[in-house]
């Protein structure tokens, strides 16, 4: 049974936020943190987070895996067609008026207890059955706030990085932002 740990969640959010700000600064981007909201604004935010999760799941299932590719996503037999959208209403997300793009990030981690880890070892040794002790997955997507079009998505269902530590969060953010669109800093001559 999974039990949420508020302290771990708060630490992970803080670490991921700091790592994300640092990573985006290297691309010349400024991160605007979405404001905490209540009432109707919170419902709008929750609705668009749910919509993004549904779209990301569809992209992962029907775009990333060639055998599952939807016929409408292979326009004119171009395997590289990538056209997914949240619709122009996404600009109603609280804080969106100050930004051109929204970066949606989802990361989920479950850690196995000592008892579960012992069960994993015993099950593997005695009956050859694998018991999962944890879950570490995530995805990130960049959305154009003017059109609602999903411009980029990256997902990994077996991520690394212990997000409860600053170093682990930096690793996770680096994995989430792999191949992120944007300019890369130019290294000085002789730098490696």
Exposed e or buried b for every residue in 24-44, given b needs 16+ CB within 10 A?
beeeebeeeebeeeeeeeeeb
pLDDT band at 64 (very low <50, low <70, confident <90, very high): confident
Rounded to an integer, the average pLDDT of 120-142 is 70
38-43: list long-range contacts, CB under 8 Å, 24+ apart: 41/94
| Helices and strands: H and E segment counts in the chain | 4, 4
pLDDT at 188 over 50: no
Enclosing H/E stretch for 149: strand 149-156
Taking the whole predicted model, whether its pTM rises above 0.85 is answered as no
Tell me if residue 171 falls in helix, strand or coil.
helix
pLDDT classification of 114: cutoffs 50, 70, 90: low
Structural domain boundaries in the chain: 6-176
Q: 20-35, pLDDT tens digit by residue?
A: 999 998 888 888 888 8
CB neighbour list of residue 164: distance below 8 Å, 6 or more residues apart? 8, 11, 12, 15
Compute the distance between CA of residue 170 and CA of residue 162 in angstroms, rounded to an integer: 9
* Band of residue 118 on the pLDDT scale cut at 50, 70, 90: low
Q: Are 144 and 101 in contact (CB under 8 A)?
A: yes
- Residue 72 phi, psi (nearest 5): -75, -15
């Amino acid at each position: 049974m999974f039990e949420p740990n508020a302290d771990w969640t708060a630490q992970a959010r803080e670490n991921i936020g700091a790592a994300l700000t640092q990573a985006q600064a290297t691309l010349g981007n400024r991160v605007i943190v979405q404001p905490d909201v209540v009432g109707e604004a919170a419902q709008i935010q929750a609705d668009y987070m749910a919509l993004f999760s549904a779209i990301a799941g569809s992209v992962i299932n029907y775009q990333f895996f060639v055998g599952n590719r939807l016929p409408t996503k292979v326009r004119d037999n171009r395997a590289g067609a990538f056209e997914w959208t949240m619709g122009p209403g996404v600009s109603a997300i609280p804080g969106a008026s100050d930004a051109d793009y929204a970066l949606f990030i989802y990361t989920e981690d479950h850690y196995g207890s000592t008892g579960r880890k012992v069960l994993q070892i015993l099950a593997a040794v005695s009956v050859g059955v694998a018991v999962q002790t944890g879950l570490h997955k995530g995805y990130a997507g960049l959305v154009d706030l003017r059109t609602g079009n999903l411009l980029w998505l990256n997902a990994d269902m077996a991520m690394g990085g212990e997000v409860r530590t600053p170093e682990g969060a930096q690793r996770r953010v680096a994995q989430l932002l792999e191949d992120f669109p944007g300019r890369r800093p130019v290294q000085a001559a002789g730098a490696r």
